[in-house]
Amino acid sequence: MFGKTARTDCIGRPRGAVKILFVGADTPDCDAICGRLLRAGHTLSAAAAAPQAARLVREQAFDLVIFAGADDDGSLGEVVGALPCDPQGRRRAAVVVLRDASPGPGGDDGVPADIVLARPFEIDDLATCIEAELASREAAPGHPHGGGESGAVEAMLAEALGAIDEGFVLWDAEDRLVMCNDMYRALFGRDNDRWTPGARFEDLLRLQLESGVFRLGPGQRQDWFARRIARHCSPAGPFEEELFDGRWVRITETRTPTGYTVGIYAEISQAKRREIALRTFADNSRRVAAAVDAASNAVLITDPGRPGNPTIFANPAFARMTGWPVEEALGRDRSFLNGATTEMAELARFEADIRAGRPTSAELELVDRAGDGFWVDVSASPIRGGDGRVVNWVIVKTDIDARKRAAPAAGPGLADLCDDQSIGPFGVSTILPLRRKRQDRSRASAIASSSNTSSTGTKSVPSANRDASS
């Protein structure tokens, strides 16, 4: 066993090296035994007293426990009782007891030991006994470091788990770490020296929590820890966790028939960011839509990619302002709101800005569905795509009719100067009666009325004279 070439398994421990706990560091032959084991390339942890050893075997996994010295207080039983077992009930660590006088197999205190040696003994004899014991364990079916065919299978398994993109971890029936791959360690192994076989799930989870592996808000740690333990104890489908650096992982835990727990940890950071972006966009869109629906101004969205730049959206305020139901406005250009009093020169300038892709605004008199005129302040803003082209126009119409009606009459508009105006570039042709003609007809009507009055012999009396006569 000591002569094997070291290899690396899934958890990064040299394959063939044995992790040893030496209980009784104050014994005379401690230095010689420890030196011999260290020279063989094994990991050694020494404990001065049995209570410390019992704590260590609960926290870490050891291949071998060497108990040296007297056992007057029964501490050997405490240490052995704390060692984890496999599903078949066999201790995972070999136990070697060194005594001043041989008590015989099993020990004089009734605690089973795999090897019992009485002093004096040769260090090489101890090494030979240890090699034989560990070799028999590794050859046993199901042993995590099994030799022969099982060792080759384990090597292939380790290579396969190291090649996958997901983190893999295996916990035994007592929730002790059995193995994990490099991806799992990359996700969670900020304290890599603690990720050793035999480490308890709860202890490692608490370590992750205390070292800030997960992104949690103030006051959330205790509740999160309890929920995570509950999920681990009763796996019920995949769930997601956010790490401290913004990465996301999807965790799937499955319980095996023998009570082991398999964990698969897939990094889903990119997909999660896209999901968050889409959800944020949808939430913002709903807020914007609610705000637009509640607005008092008419809001239109048009599609310049279609002939006539038709309306593809109109809010309820448009229907209230124009009298046209929203569904009857969709798919039409905006010319159906132009009327006899619409100032064509201003309209032509406004539409020319839109064709050029320039934000623009104008004050125009339009007509509603009933044919009544109303004034609006209309503004148009382009929405551009990633290539800079205008993909939509947002047109907002604000009712300024009251202000315009109260303002002094402006000079003659285009409708006062011509009989009809053809807006060829926009596909809109509007026949406009002249206001001047209407005024001429009004004057002619007044003259006719005056002539009729004279023919009846009635004479108009100035108001001042009527007042004086009264």
Tens of pLDDT along 199-223?
889 998 998 888 888 888 888 999 9
Q: Within its chain, how far is the Cα of 229 from the centroid?
A: 22
Q: Which helix (H) or strand (E) holds 253?
A: strand 248-255
147 found inside a domain? no
CB-count exposure of residue 170 (10 Å: 0-12, 13-18, 19+): buried
**Mean pLDDT score, 181-189:** 80
**Residues 233 and 176 occupy one common structural domain:** yes
Q: Is residue 299 part of a domain?
A: yes
Is residue 168 one of the residues assigned to a domain? yes
Residue 50 has pLDDT above 80, yes or no: no
- Non-local (6+) Cβ contacts of 342 within 8 A are 364, 365, 366, 367, 415, 430
For 278-300, what is each residue's pLDDT tens digit?
Answer: 888 888 888 888 888 888 999 99
CB 167 within 8 A of CB 213: no
* pLDDT at residue 375, as a whole number: 96
DSSP H or E stretch at residue 131:
helix 123-139
**Based on the domain organization, do 255 and 314 belong to the same domain?**
no
Tell whether 244 and 357 lie within a shared domain.
no
Domain that holds residue 112: 7-139
pLDDT mean over 419-438? 41
In the prediction, which pLDDT does 69 show? Answer: 65
Which pLDDT score is estimated for 311? 94
Residue 225 belongs to some domain of the structure:
yes
Give the total number of structural domains in the chain. 3
Residues 29, 115: one domain?
yes
Name the helix (H) or strand (E) containing 107. none
For residue 354, which of 327, 374, 381 has the smallest C-alpha distance? 381
Question: Is the pLDDT reported for residue 373 higher than 70?
Answer: yes
pLDDT for 426: 38
Stretch 352-363: mean pLDDT, rounded? Answer: 95
Is the pLDDT reported for residue 365 higher than 90?
A: yes
pTM for this model (two decimals)? 0.41
Considering the domain architecture, whether residues 225 and 101 belong to the same structural domain is answered as: no
Is the peptide bond prior to 425 cis by the omega test (within 30 degrees of 0)? no
Mean pLDDT is lowest, of 13-27, 325-339, 445-459, for 445-459
State the average pLDDT over residues 443-451.
46
Residue 318 lies in a domain: yes
Rounded CA separation 393/311 (Å): 9
Better-scored residue on pLDDT, 89 or 13: 89
Q: Is the pLDDT score of 258 beyond 70?
A: yes
Report the pLDDT value the prediction gives residue 32, as an integer from 0 to 100.
73
Can you give the pLDDT at residue 407? Answer: 67
Is 114 within the bounds of a domain? yes
Q: What pLDDT is recorded for position 337?
A: 93
Q: Is the pLDDT of residue 189 over 90?
A: no
What is the arithmetic mean of pLDDT over 63-77?
Answer: 74
Q: Of 141, 126, 22, nearest to 90 (Cα)?
A: 141
Backbone torsions φ then ψ of 13, nearest 5 degrees: -90, 140
Indicate which CATH number applies to the domain containing 217.
3.30.450.20
If asked whether residues 431 and 308 sit together in one domain, one would say yes
- Cα separation values, 464 from 75, 449, 457, 461, 468, Å: 132, 22, 21, 8, 6
What torsion, rounded to 10 degrees, do the Cα atoms 8, 9, 13, 14 define? -40
Task: State the residue for tokens 């101004």.
Answer: 297
Q: Which of 183-197, 354-368, 407-421 has the highest average model confidence (pLDDT)?
A: 354-368
The alpha carbon dihedral of 280, 285, 290, 291 has a sign of positive
At residue 297, the pLDDT reads 93
Q: Is residue 115 part of a domain?
A: yes
- 220 and 347 housed in the same domain: no
The average confidence (pLDDT) of the chain is 75
- The answer, yes or no, to whether residue 363 has pLDDT greater than 90, is yes
Provide the residue type at 50 as one letter: A
Same domain, 116 and 199: no
Q: Are 112 and 177 part of one and the same domain?
A: no
252 compared with 21, residue with greater pLDDT: 252
Q: Give me the mean pLDDT over the 112-123 stretch.
A: 72
CA separation (Å) from 76 to 49, 53, 356, 463? 10, 9, 91, 132
Residue 69 lies in a domain: yes
pLDDT at 15: 40
The least confident of 84-98, 403-417, 436-450 is 436-450
**Which position has the higher pLDDT, 221 or 41?**
221
